[in-house]
Structure 1
Amino acid sequence: MKNGMTAGAALLLTTSIASAGGIERSAPSVALLFEEGNYLELNFGFVSPDVSGEQQISAGLGSPGSESGDMAGEYTQLGFGYKNDLNEKLSIALIFDQPYGADVDYSADTDYAYGGGVSPLGSTTATIDSNAITALAAYKLRDDITVYGGARAVQTSGEVALFNGYTMETSKETDFGYVLGAAWERPEIAARVSLIYHSEITHDFDADENGASTKFSTTLPQSLTLEGQTGIAADTLLFGSIRWVDWTAFDISPVNFGLATSGGSLVDYDDDTVTYNLGVGRRFNAEWSGALTAGYEASNGGFSGNLGPTDGNTSLGVAMTRTMDNVRITGGVRYIWIGDAKTEAPGALTGGSPGVTLGDFKDNSGLAAGLRIAYNF
């Protein structure tokens, strides 16, 4: 029944209800490589963040204390995974996920001054969409050591409309990176430790900035993930992960953006992120198993971007799995306490003066739910 317990663990740690730094929406995993026999999974997730803040300076028609309203939109996640054993030593896998995304809306039709079309960020919207396909091959060097690697293709696009009339829309670009890793196992105690490296991927975008055709490059960051699990008692599994993402390498700086806003990047990050997850899985009987998890990502301090006013998070999640012959259905929910953040006033509002706090975002949260249907054959 190891697979029944780890199904809940995998759902809580990976694709459909992940919450991480930057614009990451899913944390790619290679857990399906260790499923018994041939394997197919379908994933669906829904995430509802609630992020709002208060204006700290007089700007536009807004004043200190004006509220932004909820500027973070709900979104769905889709995922797919397939693994096939070619022989006793060699397996291949194909994974589809939606790794990066953003839905920002300081809507002009809210009732709040800060986001109601009369404030510095009124009518500001931004979206980022992505799809990725990863092709992997895994080779068992010996009973306890497996190595794996492959290629990853990511397609990304985005658009933004700012308070000052600046607009930008990118082309849809597909570029490639690679995945490498290795794992150690002791199946008799359900123990496994795996390391996964995802390379950076650089997009060269064509952009339309207020009708002008420009070009710019953005690098999707490299990452390193350590996942582990072990049996700690009869029918009980301890699992967890540590994930580092090189977000300081990520920067969106369209050519004409600095001219329109008195300098700076549209989106960038001053710090990398390290995300921790720890959980326990339990088999209740031959049909039902469950998992609990806790997650943590430290706040970095300093300013967060106005298009992403969050800084770290803490989460608790629960999942249940029902096993019916070769089919497993897992559902999970996660509650996320989103870290408090302060945002910097754009230079266009301060005459170029840096370090002026525009928004104070605190006491925010999110709720995520996921569903996975898995089939071993």
Structure 2
Amino acid sequence: MKKILMTASALALGATAATAGGIERSSQSTAILFEKGNYAELNFGGFSPDVSGVGLNAAMTGRSAHSGDMAGGYGTYSFGYKVALTDKIDAAVVLENAIGADVNYPTGTDYFLQGSTATIDNTSLTGMLRYKLPQNFSMIGGIRALRTSGVVSLPAVGAYRMSSSTETDFGYLVGVAWEKPEIAARVALTYNSKITHDFEARESSAYTGGATLDTVFSTTIPESVNLEFQTGIARDTLLFGSVRWVHWTQLEIAPTHYTVDMGQDPLVAYKDNTFTYSLGVGRKFNDKWSGAVVLGYEKSSGETTGNLGPTDGFRSIAFAGTYQATDNVKITAGVRYVDIGDAVTNPLISGDFSDNSGWGAGVRVGITF
């Protein structure tokens, strides 16, 4: 039961995740460390949001205009490899895209931000160790490397454009876990440090006459805390979930020319930190099949948001199923529906974004050897 259901719950929690807190695409789970023996997994997923709103028209006359769908769909991936070094030490490495953004306000809408685009590209590589202690406790530690870059174009804001350098910087993670295998119980608490990138940027706008300025700015990818848990509640039935806190007020994307010379607010900044919750149930149907359903929730803050991220919280439901193809190969697939929270953007050029949603799907192949 444990071997099959833990895979279904992990996919439902992670691989089809919506963007929590704005730009997050990975929950930074340590679950792979608890797989038995030597193990490898490959995950592919995608999320297709539909985010649109109503705000000022391009001429700023006060007449409202519809933005069209400004949130591009995106794919997610991860590769994980875990090995039992000794009977007390496990090691794992995970390659994934931890954060990202794909903003594209369509042209031809007469919305004041029509034609604006922004992307954040990222690759994350995490190495982790788990050391088993007496009484079913264990310690977790590791190092995470983030490689990040970004591009933005805002025709309606002084014909502004910016492209950043690609920077690689490092952080760490530490945690503790407790297990009771006879009832499939486990609790893991992990802290992920912040990581600061010092970017070089090329900025231009109408204020420079289109000339390019070479500038520098810093951005902090925020620290976070994960609480992941599971326990058997009946024969062949598993209850699982997580609570994730992210210190989003540490994140600010504020290129120098845009904020200092042009006097604009940061491109991205958050006024509140977030708690993201998930709770699910997994069930083994027979020796080949098991399934899971999981609910997700992130509270809306009620604060105004930036125009490059006009969402505020979400509610979601996901379904996943696992097929034990052979003794050492398992295949999991899942789908997720997300009710994206309503948001009102910066009141100086306000937009009202409501009744938005998205669909996600993912596939995981896990191999034990």
Q: Same fold (TM over 0.5)?
A: yes
Q: Which amino acid aligns with 2:47?
A: V
Q: Is the 8 A contact 1:303 1:343 kept in 2?
A: yes
Q: Which amino acid aligns with 1:331?
A: A
> Runs of 4 or more off by more than 4 Å in structure 1?
none
Q: Which residue of 2 aligns with 1:132?
A: 124
Q: Report the number of matched residues.
A: 359
Deviation readout 1:263-322 (Å, 9 max, x if unpaired): 311110000010000000000000000000000000011211100000000000000000
How do 1:332-351 residues align onto structure 2 when only pairs under 5 Å count?
A: 332-344=334-346
Distance 1:329 1:139, change over 3 A: same
Q: Which residue of 2 aligns with 1:225?
A: 226
In 1, distance between residues paired with 2:22 and 2:214? Answer: 27
Structure 2-normalised TM-score?
Answer: 0.95
In 1, distance between residues paired with 2:224 and 2:197? Answer: 17
Match of 1:173 among 167, 181, 192: 167
Deviation at 1:113? 2.2
Q: Which residue of 1 aligns with 2:209?
A: none
Match of 2:183 among 189, 192, 213: 189
- Give the gaps of 5 or more residues in structure 1: 115-119, 345-354
Deviation readout 1:185-233 (Å, 9 max, x if unpaired): 0000000000011000000000000111000000000000100000000
Deviation at 1:63? 4.6
How do 1:156-305 residues align onto structure 2 when only pairs under 5 Å count?
A: 156-162=148-154, 163=156, 164-210=158-204, 211-259=212-260, 261-305=262-306
Deviation at 1:15? 4.0
How do 1:19-168 residues align onto structure 2 when only pairs under 5 Å count?
A: 19-55=19-55, 57=56, 60=59, 63-108=62-107, 110=108, 112-114=109-111, 120-162=112-154, 163=156, 164-168=158-162
Deviation readout 1:319-357 (Å, 9 max, x if unpaired): 00001211010000100000000011xxxxxxxxxx445
In 2, distance between residues paired with 1:272 and 1:318? Answer: 28
Structure 1-normalised TM-score?
Answer: 0.93
Aligned-residue CA RMSD in angstroms? Answer: 1.3
In 2, distance between residues paired with 1:280 and 1:367? Answer: 20
**What SS class does the counterpart of residue 17 from structure 1 fall into?**
coil
Q: Which amino acid aligns with 2:110?
A: A
In 1, distance between residues paired with 2:278 and 2:23? Answer: 18
Q: Is the 8 A contact 1:17 1:368 kept in 2?
A: yes
Q: Is the 8 A contact 1:17 1:333 kept in 2?
A: no
Of all paired residues, the percent bearing the same amino acid is 53
In 2, distance between residues paired with 1:48 and 1:319? Answer: 18
Q: Which amino acid aligns with 2:159?
A: G
Q: Is the 8 A contact 1:140 1:146 kept in 2?
A: yes
